Amino acid sequence: MDVIEAIGARRSIRKYEQKEIPPDVLEQLLDSARLSPSANNSQDWNIVVVTDKGLLRKLVPVTGNQRFVGECSAFLAGVAVPGASLSPIDITIALDHLSLRAVELGLGTCWIGDFDPDGLKGVLDIPLDRDVPICMTLGYPEQNPSAQDRKAQSELFMSDRWSHPRS
């Protein structure tokens, strides 16, 4: 599978098979995140990888009661380094790289933006001075949702100036 195929095949998965991710597959996914670009190559971020079923269930109430969080194979909490202004962007890029590699390896992901940061920090023992800008579920899809409609390029992109939509 090439990159454009992975981009086109990526879906938000909210129903997962009850299946563990083999350690070597998880390492490949994490390496995809590690190899992502970051500001000044500083890699000012961390990812808490949660696979413990008890902890996954404890995450449900702090993630907007999204039940699939407790049913995924792994939950990834992206942690930003204090004072590193581009850290939230860098962790998002890292998780995006991981999400595309997941598609290639037959796994699915779902971005989690609805969560209580302090509650999440409490469950996962993340230091209070750290920010958690984004999280993601990971696992083997039990469903294959159809693609959502996307806006036309002419609605999203401008040529040289705001007043010049691309046609």
d(CA 76, CA 96): 12
Domain that holds residue 142: 3-156
- The predicted model gives 91-102 an average pLDDT of 97
Provide the number of structural domains found in the chain. 1
Residue 97 lies in a domain: yes
d(CA 72, CA 92): 20
The pLDDT value given to residue 130:
96
Per residue in 154-167, pLDDT (tens digit) is 899 999 999 888 87
- The predicted model gives 75-104 an average pLDDT of 96
Residue 92 lies in a domain: yes
Q: What is the CA radius of gyration of the chain?
A: 17
pTM: 0.93
Residue 10 lies in a domain: yes
- The predicted model gives 35-53 an average pLDDT of 96
| 141 in Cβ contact with 102 (< 8 Å) | no
CATH number at residue 53: 3.40.109.10
Residue 119 lies in a domain: yes
